[in-house]
Amino acid sequence: MTASDLSIGVLNGPNLDLLGTREPELYGSLSLSGINSELEALGAELNAAVESFQSNHEGELSDWIRDVGRMKDGLLVNAAAFTHTSVALRDALLASGVPFVEVHLTNIWAREPFRHRSLLSDIAVGVVSGFGKESYLLGLRALCNHLRPSA
């Protein structure tokens, strides 16, 4: 086994630990651990080590960005409800200086109006939204391509 040349952090916000049971008609039936397993497998194919973290607490998410996330080459961020409300997460991501891709399982612009505004999108490398678990996988591919541009 060779060492991965990229280190990717995956940040998951509130209630994503309920995936698989919470509104499966909206969010799908795959659990967060299932998504994390698929990310790790794809990461191995892309020669990128993937480390995931989930919390329902804004301060824990900010601490993770400061203590762990800033050591990564890039981040996938699904801040969930904090996408629309958390200046603290925005500031932590800016302070980290680490490029990130914002991901969402659902198309946030096709949902309730309060979900249409993201406090993170304008500082993200890109946004992948509306493809269920594929949003994460597409986001990981895009992030690795961004971090490892073609010669």
The two three-digit tokens of residue 5, written as one number: 């040349």
Specify the residue for token string 């409800």.
Answer: 81
Give tens-digit pLDDT for 5-27.
999 999 999 999 988 777 667 67
Polymer length of the chain: 151
Which structure tokens are listed for 147? 């971090």
Given the residues 57, 84, 104, 136, the one annotated as active site: 104
Task: For 102, list phi and psi in degrees, rounded to 5.
Answer: -85, 130
pLDDT in tens, 32-63: 999 999 999 999 999 999 999 999 999 999 99
Active site residue 136: no
Domains and CATH numbers, the chain: 6-147 (3.40.50.9100)
Please give the mean pLDDT across all residues of the chain.
92
